[in-house]
């Protein structure tokens, strides 16, 4: 880890380890991509032990479902998605989702770009400040 890289939270590790097989593997990879995108990311477990990633506000969270892994993007509605990886939540003013299914490839670089954009928005004061500007 670099000088400003944050440690992994044990409760988040426990939460991800409890996801079903392929979802746990994918969640571990996404976790590392989130930290790659913003080394200052903090982790915590919230709402029934769901993994949350924070940087000057909430950036994203993950949840295992019956048939997919859901990545919730906070302020994702304002972040650019030129690669079209966001799958749901278009009716929500700011939050979006990426639903990932077993065996389907996803664009790791696009996820890193999206997380970086959300972290940059948080650095700039968050979506409320950006909407006012």
Neighbouring residues of 21: CB distance < 8 A, sequence distance ≥ 6: none
- Closest-CA residue to 73 (of 21, 109, 127): 127
E strands in 1-133: 42-46, 50-54, 58-64, 68-73, 96-101
Enter the pTM of the model.
0.89
pLDDT (tens place) for every residue of the chain, 133 residues total? 444 567 799 999 999 999 999 999 999 999 999 999 999 999 999 988 899 999 999 999 999 999 999 999 998 778 889 999 999 998 887 789 999 999 999 999 999 999 999 999 999 886 566 565 5
Q: Enumerate domains of the chain plus CATH numbers.
A: 10-132 (3.90.1150.200)
- Closest-CA residue to 76 (of 58, 59, 53, 96): 96
Give the position of tokens 């004061």.
125
């Amino acid at each position: 880890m670099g000088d400003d890289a944050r440690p992994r939270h044990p409760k988040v590790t426990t939460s991800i380890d409890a996801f079903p097989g392929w979802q746990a593997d994918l969640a571990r990879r996404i976790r590392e991509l989130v930290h790659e995108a913003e080394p200052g990311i903090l982790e915590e477990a919230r709402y029934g032990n769901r993994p949350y990633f924070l940087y000057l506000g909430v950036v994203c969270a993950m949840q295992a479902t019956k048939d997919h892994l859901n990545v919730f993007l906070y302020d994702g509605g304002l972040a650019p998605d030129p690669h079209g990886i966001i799958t749901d939540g278009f009716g929500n003013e700011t939050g979006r989702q990426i639903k990932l299914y077993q065996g389907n490839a996803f664009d790791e670089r696009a996820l890193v770009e999206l997380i970086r954009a959300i972290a940059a928005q948080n650095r700039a004061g968050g979506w409320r400040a950006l909407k006012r500007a």
